[in-house]
Structure 1
Amino acid sequence: MATQNSTFAETTELCEECEKSTPHDVTIEIQTESKKQNNTEFSREPYRVTECMECNEMTAKRMNDA
């Protein structure tokens, strides 16, 4: 389960799939990490999600791991 909180302006980033800098759509999402039903509110973490606008490759990085 993920909820989309905000969207940044399109940015240029290195795409590992394209092997070059390409425009990316960048969002911040709150994702639930626990598969258990009880106490899921304690397992939600912010993720930085990027999508390459050329190849549609999507990556998500847990922001607390930065």
Structure 2
Amino acid sequence: MNPLKEARREKGLSQYESAKGIGISYSMLVKMENGSKSPSKKTMWKAARFYGKTVDELFFTDLVH
């Protein structure tokens, strides 16, 4: 599962609630969670701050061996 989606579910939030909390559109969050859109650096930082995770945990876990 996508780490971004996992973080949202851990907090028990809907996609709409998370998008609002991060400060992005609902459609952007959906695209980020399904991997069809890569976020900007600024959006990565905002999401990491919102979920209490690092940017690496949310967006680069597939690169870690």
Shared fold (TM-score greater than 0.5)? Answer: no
* Larger RCO (CA within 8 A; separation ≥ 6): 2
Smaller-chain TM-score range? under 0.3
TM-score (norm 1): 0.19
TM-score (norm 2): 0.19
Q: Which has the higher helix share?
A: 2
Choose 1 or 2 for highest CA Rg. Answer: 1
